[in-house]
Amino acid sequence: MTAAGVRRRIAVINPNTTESMTASIAEAARSVVDVSTEVVSITNAHGPASIESHYDEAMAVPGLLAEIAAAEADGVDGFVIACFGDPGLDAAREIASGPVVGIAEAGFHLATMLGRSFSVVTTLARTMGQAEHLVQRYGFAGHCRSIYACEVPVLELDDPASDARKLVIDYCRRAVEHDEADSVVLGCAGMADFCHDVSEQVGVPVIDGVSAGVLLVESMVKLGLRTSTRSEYAPPLPKEYR
């Protein structure tokens, strides 16, 4: 229990509609938080089964925001958006009173605290542009050595018969040996459950943004920190939506 006698509640929201992926994301999150923190796992009720394009991301955001609004009304203290594109992050910060963190954002921040450089290993090549955009947006372009795509569809990460894990390890090793990256950020929430195994194989810190994100949100909630509403992240102006 917290000092106030109330449990912290952090929502980890899967912006796609695949519940098995939500389960593995939630397990990764619960494995790192304090016993006084409850992880509320939420699957988007409206959107694509996986997010692998700009269109998928756009279609996921309305449902994601609806889930955040509902969790906010239910008393959740903070939010993690568990998709590496950090979809809807700015809009979520406008409607949530507690802190909201995206897993790419969290992964990049932690990587720069563990070494001078990092690489990203993600799923499909078509998502590399978004990863590069986020690296630049968050101010880490000078730290990022490389971005690799395994050409593994997101839903194959859940399939034990696929070569997904081997490919992730191979590309992480390439980032370390060829690009001399000090750490590797995994570019998909679906990789969360085997992050530790990858790190043991490649010999450098490998960062899962889900675990990183939930711990950052938990820390902010403990410190009593909330998103600033001074200007851009103020609540949206009241108006009619159709």
232 in a domain, yes or no? no
Same domain, 13 and 96: yes
pLDDT of residue 5: 58
Contacts of 140 (CB under 8 A, 6+ apart): 108, 111, 112, 118
Same domain, 121 and 66: no
The answer on pLDDT for 185 being more than 80 is: yes
pLDDT of 197-242, one tens digit each? 999 999 999 999 999 999 999 999 999 999 999 999 999 999 999 9
Same domain, 109 and 198: yes
Query: Structural domain of residue 51, as residue ranges?
Result: 8-102+212-222
pLDDT of residue 163: 86
Comparing 40-54, 146-160, 210-224, which segment has the lowest mean pLDDT? 146-160
Percent of the chain with pLDDT over 90: 89
Continuous H helices in 115-189: 128-137, 164-179
Same domain, 132 and 202: yes
Same domain, 202 and 125: yes
2 in a domain, yes or no? no
- Cα 122 to the center of its chain, rounded Å: 12
Same domain, 110 and 195: yes
146 in a domain, yes or no? yes
Q: What is the CATH number of the domain that holds 163?
A: 3.40.50.12500
Q: Residue 25 corresponds to which tokens in the numbers above?
A: 């994301």
Count of domains for the chain: 2
CA atoms of 2 and 35, how far apart (whole Å) = 10
Confidence of residue 1 (pLDDT cuts 50, 70, 90): very low
Same domain, 123 and 135: yes
CA atoms of 16 and 90, how far apart (whole Å) = 18
Cα→Cα distances 28→124, 172, 173, Å: 22, 20, 23
Same domain, 47 and 124: no
CA atoms of 115 and 61, how far apart (whole Å) = 33
Same domain, 172 and 130: yes
Phi and psi of 74, rounded to 5°? -90, 5
54 in a domain, yes or no? yes
- Give the predicted TM-score (pTM) of the model: 0.94
pLDDT of residue 19: 96
pLDDT of 67-85, one tens digit each? 999 999 999 999 999 999 9
The answer on pLDDT for 43 being more than 90 is: yes
The answer on pLDDT for 4 being more than 90 is: no
Same domain, 147 and 192: yes
CA atoms of 136 and 134, how far apart (whole Å) = 5
16 in a domain, yes or no? yes
Q: Which residues pair with 38 in a beta bridge?
A: 9
Q: Residue 220 corresponds to which tokens in the numbers above?
A: 């902010």
The answer on pLDDT for 147 being more than 50 is: yes
Residue 151 near residue 216, CB atoms below 8 Å: no
